[in-house]
Amino acid sequence: MAIILDTTQIDYIKQFNKVEDPLILEMRNYAIHRKIPILEDISVELIKTFIKIKKPSRVLELGTAIAFTTIQIAEVLPENSLIDTIEKSKDNLTIAKSYIERSGFQNKINLIEGDASEIIPNLSNKYDLIFLDADKEAYEQLFDQSIELLNDDGIYIVDNLLWKGFPASQTVPKEYEISTKHIRKFNSYFFSSDKLVSTLFPVGDGLGVGIKK
């Protein structure tokens, strides 16, 4: 778990965001035991709140993993709305397909297989909300490619912008030095973009949220 807030505060917040869906609980346990990165519950809840407010007709997710966030987004999407989600890992795709089928939200989820940087230029849809949660070194490229697909007043959300607290730390473990460098660089880029009005929410591992001008 990323320690952005004091652990006492995290435990206090969790009591108001209890996950009870058996499938989501199973997926979370699966990810934890296999060390597959997934969004923290408090971050998922914030994204779901934006979905409920915005009521998007189409969502783009860059980085499906095992579809942990995908399914929860689909759950709160309006009827006849759709989430296009892109994943390149064949192992993740196999698991994601299985969970999506079990979720019952297949009609709201369009799982696209392949590298997002190659797929985005060929997308013809426009989106009301885009969620970026892919390889950190690819953030800037994927942002530049996908921001053009976001409708005016659309919402752009990026995960991991506080990256376990390391971007704000003077001491970074060696194994996180490169990824932290990428996040620091992206944060400067994202929050200085003249295409968005953005803020950083210190929940989970840090959610950047921008509204397109």
- Domain membership of residue 2 (yes or no) is no
Is 7's pLDDT higher than 80?
Answer: no
Is 1's pLDDT higher than 80?
Answer: no
- Domain membership of residue 115 (yes or no) is yes
CA–CA–CA angle 70, 74, 76 (5° rounding): 125
- Domain membership of residue 1 (yes or no) is no
**Cα distance between residue 88 and residue 200, in whole Å:** 27
- The pTM of the full predicted model, rounded to 2 decimals, is 0.93
For residues 52 and 213, is the Cβ–Cβ distance under 8 A? Answer: no
For residues 28 and 52, is the Cβ–Cβ distance under 8 A? Answer: no
Which CATH number covers residue 169?
3.40.50.150
- Which of these, 105, 124, 204, lies nearest to 158 by C-alpha position? 204
pLDDT confidence of residue 16: 79
How does pLDDT run across 58-99, given as a tens digit for each residue?
Answer: 999 999 999 999 999 999 999 999 999 999 999 999 999 999
- Domain membership of residue 101 (yes or no) is yes
- Domain membership of residue 23 (yes or no) is yes
> Strands, E, within 12-170: which ranges?
58-62, 82-87, 109-113, 127-132, 150-158
For residues 100 and 126, is the Cβ–Cβ distance under 8 A? Answer: no
* Burial of 175 from C-beta contacts in 10 A (0-12 / 13-18 / 19+): exposed
Non-local CB neighbours of 23 within 8 Å, separated by 6+ positions: 71, 99, 102, 103
Q: How many domains does the chain have?
A: 1
pLDDT confidence of residue 4: 53
- Domain membership of residue 57 (yes or no) is yes
How does pLDDT run across 149-183, given as a tens digit for each residue?
Answer: 999 999 999 999 999 999 999 999 999 999 999 99
Q: Which domain holds residue 47?
A: 7-212
- Which of these, 126, 115, 105, lies nearest to 58 by C-alpha position? 126
- Domain membership of residue 46 (yes or no) is yes
pLDDT confidence of residue 5: 60
Residue 103, amino acid:
S
pLDDT confidence of residue 143: 98
Residue pointed to by tokens 């013809």: 124
How does pLDDT run across 109-147, given as a tens digit for each residue?
Answer: 999 999 999 999 999 999 999 999 999 999 999 999 999
How does pLDDT run across 27-63, given as a tens digit for each residue?
Answer: 999 999 999 999 999 999 999 999 999 999 999 999 9
pLDDT confidence of residue 14: 73
